[in-house]
Amino acid sequence: MLLKTKHRVVYVTRYRSNGESKSAVDVVTLHPPKGWHLDFVGDEDDETGDYVLSSLGPKKTRLDMTFTGRYKIRAAPSKAMDEKQVAEMWDKYAAALERDYSRARS
């Protein structure tokens, strides 16, 4: 984490891809309580994303996400493979969020 303020979070993500060390900078601009915006600049790709929270009643909230991205590498994954990887990642995030929510409620 490089910066954390009321309206912005900046952090570096380090990961491995094809045996090589890679990194990216994430800049998250917070728009509480309704959402946030992501600017991601990485070694392999750049992305922007918008997250919007909508109330569906007293105990339900919907999260809508819109992303655009551009690969900078020759061996970019196909659209189908990219969508599969993103779905797997969000399945893990959703499970973690549900666990955190359940712990907070107990």
Residues 6+ apart with CB under 8 A from 46: 40, 69, 70, 72
Average the pLDDT over 59-88 and give the result.
Answer: 91
List Cα–Cα distances, 51 to 33, 81, 91, in angstroms. Answer: 11, 23, 16
Q: What is the pLDDT of residues 12-33, one digit of tens each?
A: 999 888 889 999 999 999 999 9
Quote the pLDDT of residue 10.
Answer: 98
pTM above 0.75, yes or no: yes
Task: State the Rg of the chain over Cα.
Answer: 16
- Break the chain into its structural domains and give their ranges: 3-75, 78-106
pLDDT category of residue 51 using cuts at 50, 70 and 90: very high
Q: Tell me how far the alpha carbon of residue 3 is from its chain's centroid.
A: 17
Q: Classify residue 95 by its DSSP letter.
A: H
Burial class from Cβ neighbours inside 10 Å (0-12, 13-18, 19+) for residue 82 reads middle
The arithmetic mean of pLDDT across residues 79-88, rounded, is 91
| Tens digits of residue pLDDT in 52-73 | 999 999 989 999 999 999 999 9
Return the C-alpha torsion angle 88, 89, 90, 92, nearest 10: 90
Contact criterion met (CB below 8 Å) for 72 and 45: yes
